[in-house]
Amino acid sequence: MSRATTIAVLGGGNGAFAAAADLTLRGFSVRLLEVPELAAETITPVRERGALELLAPDLSGVASGPAVIDVITDRVEEAVVGAEIVLYVVPAFAERRFSEWCLPYFHPDQLVVLFCGNFGGALELAGLFNSQSLPTPLIAEVEGLVYSAVKQGPTAVRVSGIKAGLACAALPAQRTHEALERVLRLFPGFQAAANVLETSLRNLNPVLHVPVSVTNAGRTSADKPKWRFYWDGVTEPVGRLVQQVDSERLSVGRAIDLDLPSALDVLLSWYGHQGARGSTIAEAMSTNPAYEIAWAPETLAHRFITEDVPFGLVPIEALASSVGIPTPTIGALITLSSQLLDVDFRARGRNLAHLGIEGLSREQVRHLVEKGSASGNTAFF
């Protein structure tokens, strides 16, 4: 694979803009793909301007400047056909829309990487290929998005942080080394995870976002003063709630033989090189320089709840129940979020059936994510 690797970036949000611009400025050939119903709002201004401006002041290793993206389109074949690597940089709730749209155009030789799948993104995508009896590309899942980024108008994006040492696994895990060989050309700091259950459980978005959103519900409104989500929203009591959610996440991991790092350790490993510090989760979240410009949403109907509850906490609760692990704090946050938004997130969220692991024993689930089959006989991927 040459330095001119062709990459399709799916999405039109903060992360997709950051990835498309950064990879372009680093010499890769990038195609940016957005769904037609959102294209006018997200990618058309960039296409009309002719470039996407990347702003990365005082951030070592990230270039600032105009990035002329090779292809900016809402036509799937223009972006996906012939791309060597396809990056999903979309919220979990948008993944199925992109997957069903792109499915006929994927090729077995491609590497497809999910960055924001929350819990079970890779499993759900593989299940779609299986349900339609289509050849499956090499699928990989990363524990989170590389960039901390915020759009600065319709044609610019500011990157305030770059995560180091993100965990990545292929589905099946026996192909992780193969996936890493390819993706490390784009993101050199990635490390191998045991499997996609580990990357799913290492995704900290539901652990961090939901408790802060729920406890700050009273100040989350367009007619309230602006506040910074982490720097202002995470007091020590809120940090203790985050810690309890994290403890339940770690217990679920242990029940399926995964020794996961704590949220505090992960935050310090991601951002320690940029000045993150702290002996408590509250301190690490409320002083992290990468979070300084992370302004809180002006509504609770935001992905910090609408994505991270149904695609994060709901499947974690379901998995925990299947292995006999109590998750009272996670359960309470799901219930409170549902009441705050008048939405039944348990009914709408990913369940074990969606992920193809309902009714499987721990051993069968482990065999599925590591070998690509539940029993050693029937191949899923």
Task: Provide the annotated active-site residues.
Answer: 209, 308
> 181 CB contacts (<8 Å, ≥6 apart)?
none
DSSP run (H or E) holding 286:
helix 281-287
The one-letter amino acid at 178 = E
Q: Are 38 and 114 in contact, with CB atoms under 8 Å apart? A: no
Q: Distance of alpha carbon 105 from its chain centroid, rounded?
A: 23
> 218 CB contacts (<8 Å, ≥6 apart)?
none
Q: Are 107 and 79 in contact, with CB atoms under 8 Å apart? A: no
Q: Given the structure tokens 């996670």, which residue do they identify?
A: 330
The one-letter amino acid at 77 = E
Residue 156 phi/psi, 5° resolution? -140, 150
Q: Are 17 and 9 in contact, with CB atoms under 8 Å apart? A: no
Cα 51 to Cα 69, 74, 218, distances in angstroms: 6, 16, 39
